[in-house]
């Protein structure tokens, strides 16, 4: 039996719930408890861990269990992210949306709600008084709560669970000589073998991959969407940044630069120290030439790339307490590993539709009984 996928469950949800779940990509978590990143990534990991049990009710619990973090996540007085009461908000969502979900299999929504509402409480079970323990033992889902909390524990992350994270692609002009140039009249990009200064009709460009990853001292960031600055120090929701001059700014206005074509940002690092600095993830990663070429082609075709998926890895060096965090994975030449979303032309879509129609006819005629729709999707999309 093929492994069930979160996306197939998501498609069964009402549209407003789908949008809310997709919005979890914007909800950050404490990096010491959640090195995997945002709530969406966390939800996918929990779902995939539980998929091996082939229990759809358990998987619906995985999908619902942290949705409530979108409205409960706040910073406490010490600036630490908390999501107090998210399990109750999520449990209420199960009660509201469960009966509306287009599920052809019988789902025990009472079981799902019990898992969602109690997935935090079970972690305190050994500290509870006898009466509270007996109350929990009466739950229909009690026997599954320990299994669920083990899947929910991000302290047991392994490398294979971290594959990709979506980041934004930004192009900004620069006064420096560079290999990427924009023809201002034609609005077309070109690339040269060596850096060239700006011309009358051309302007040098740099590419930046930016994300909502936690910003630390020493990081390069884009402020207000177009200013490149280095973070000198952090305090509460503000930071001291420096370019030509130093000044304070709000962290909310900054996006962390993950990789760039602007290699001058690493010029402050002595060449003899680069391997050491790179090992501790203080050397800014570069963008591979293969992606630069792909970006230029897409831009010139009128389809600029605005987002890509990057491979991430568990970081053995940046330890926070006893927790490991994830950072972008790089090759030996310090370039990030980029995965682009497939872009289809009209003709490609038409061909895929024809193939899908034939596959459906074959399935109805039992001519291809061993193949399922999900397998066809994996082969063709």
Both 98 and 194 in one domain: the answer is no
Both 173 and 287 in one domain: the answer is yes
Which pLDDT value is given to residue 282?
Answer: 59
Residue 1 in any domain: the answer is no
**Structural domain ending residue among the three candidates 124, 158, 192:** 158
Residue 335 in any domain: the answer is yes
Which pLDDT value is given to residue 117?
Answer: 96
Both 169 and 97 in one domain: the answer is no
Both 174 and 321 in one domain: the answer is yes
What digits encode the pLDDT tens for the residues 319-355? 444 455 678 888 888 899 887 655 555 565 666 677 6
Rg (CA), the chain: 24
Residue 58 in any domain: the answer is yes
Residue 32 in any domain: the answer is yes
Q: What is the pLDDT along the chain (381 residues), one digit of tens a residue?
A: 456 788 889 999 999 999 999 999 899 888 778 888 889 989 998 998 898 888 899 999 999 999 999 999 999 988 889 999 999 999 999 999 998 897 878 899 999 999 999 999 998 998 999 999 999 999 989 988 988 988 898 876 665 555 678 899 999 999 988 899 999 999 999 999 888 899 899 999 999 999 988 888 889 999 987 899 999 998 878 888 888 788 899 988 999 999 999 988 887 655 555 554 444 455 789 999 889 998 999 999 998 999 988 888 766 544 444 455 678 888 888 899 887 655 555 565 666 677 666 766 665 555 444 444 444 444 444
Total domain count, the chain: 3
Domain encompassing residue 267: 164-339
Residue 127: phi and psi, rounded to 5, are -95, -5
Residue 196's nearest CA partner among 174, 173, 180 is 180
Dihedral angle over CA of 187, 190, 196, 201, nearest 10: -20
Both 212 and 303 in one domain: the answer is yes
**Structural domain ending residue among the three candidates 324, 339, 354:** 339
**Structural domain ending residue among the three candidates 119, 140, 158:** 158
What digits encode the pLDDT tens for the residues 149-175? 888 988 766 655 556 788 999 999 999
Both 283 and 261 in one domain: the answer is yes
Which pLDDT value is given to residue 325?
Answer: 64
Contacts of 142 (CB under 8 A, 6+ apart): 136
**Do residues 220 and 284 make contact, with C-beta atoms less than 8 angstroms apart?**
yes
């Amino acid at each position: 039996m093929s492994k069930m996928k979160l996306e197939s469950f998501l498609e069964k949800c009402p549209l407003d719930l789908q949008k809310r779940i997709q919005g979890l990509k914007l909800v950050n978590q404490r990096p010491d408890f959640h090195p995997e990143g945002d709530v969406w990534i966390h939800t996918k990991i929990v779902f995939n861990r539980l998929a091996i049990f082939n229990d759809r009710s358990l998987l619906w619990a995985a999908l619902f269990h942290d949705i409530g973090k979108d409205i409960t996540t706040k910073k406490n007085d010490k600036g630490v992210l908390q999501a107090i009461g998210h399990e109750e908000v999520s449990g209420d969502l199960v009660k509201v949306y469960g009966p509306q979900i287009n599920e052809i299999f019988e789902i025990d929504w009472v079981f799902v709600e019990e898992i969602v509402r109690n997935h935090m409480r079970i972690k305190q079970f050994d500290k509870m008084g006898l009466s509270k323990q007996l109350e929990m033992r009466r739950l229909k889902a009690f026997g599954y709560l320990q299994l669920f909390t083990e899947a929910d524990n991000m302290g047991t992350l392994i490398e294979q669970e971290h594959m990709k994270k979506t980041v934004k692609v930004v192009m900004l002009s620069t006064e420096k000589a560079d290999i990427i140039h924009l023809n201002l009249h034609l609005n077309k990009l070109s690339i040269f073998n060596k850096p060239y200064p700006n011309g009358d009709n051309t302007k040098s460009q740099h590419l930046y991959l930016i994300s909502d990853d936690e910003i630390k001292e020493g990081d390069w960031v884009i402020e207000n969407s177009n200013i490149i600055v280095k973070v000198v120090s952090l305090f509460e929701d503000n930071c001291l940044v420096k370019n030509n001059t130093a000044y304070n700014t709000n962290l909310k206005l900054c996006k962390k630069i993950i990789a760039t074509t602007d290699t001058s940002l690493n010029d402050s690092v002595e060449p003899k120290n680069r391997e050491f600095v790179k090992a501790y993830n203080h050397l800014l990663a570069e963008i591979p030439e293969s992606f630069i070429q792909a970006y230029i082609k897409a831009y010139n075709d009128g389809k600029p790339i605005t987002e890509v998926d990057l491979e991430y890895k568990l970081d053995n060096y940046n330890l926070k307490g006893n927790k490991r965090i994830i950072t972008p994975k790089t090759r030996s030449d310090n370039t990030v590993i980029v995965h682009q979303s497939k872009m289809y032309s009209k003709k490609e879509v038409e061909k895929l539709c024809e193939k899908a129609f034939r596959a459906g006819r074959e399935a109805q005629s039992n001519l291809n009984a061993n193949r399922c729709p999900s397998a066809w999707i994996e082969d063709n999309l």
